[in-house]
């Protein structure tokens, strides 16, 4: 009985670590994707501004 309990606790610990790493990985991935999206949006807004200035001056 005690062996089963110990195994259960160990498996729970392993699962929690695994889950933690997965969450960290997804968080990092999300962060990278978010950064890329922000960069794209920033670039698009810059292009938009440049085009606006070109049309404004001509």
State the pLDDT confidence band at 56, using cuts at 50, 70 and 90. confident
DSSP 7: H
Burial class for 43, CB neighbours closer than 10 Å (0-12, 13-18, 19+) = exposed
State the pLDDT confidence band at 39, using cuts at 50, 70 and 90. very high
Distances (CA, A) of 2 to 13, 25, 43: 16, 34, 61
Give the chain's domain count: 1
Six token digits for residue 46: 């810059």
pLDDT of 57 > 80? The answer is no
Residue 8, domain extent: 1-58
Distances (CA, A) of 11 to 15, 39, 46: 6, 42, 52
How large a percentage of the chain has pLDDT more than 70? 98
pLDDT of 1 > 90? The answer is no
| 10-26 pLDDT per residue, tens | 999 999 999 999 899 99
Q: Whole-structure pTM over 0.85, yes or no? A: no
């Amino acid at each position: 009985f005690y062996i089963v309990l110990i195994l259960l606790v160990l498996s729970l610990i392993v699962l929690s670590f695994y889950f933690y790493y997965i969450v960290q990985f997804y968080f990092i991935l999300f962060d990278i994707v978010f950064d890329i999206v922000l960069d794209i949006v920033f670039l698009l807004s810059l292009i938009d501004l440049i085009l606006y200035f070109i049309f404004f001056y001509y």
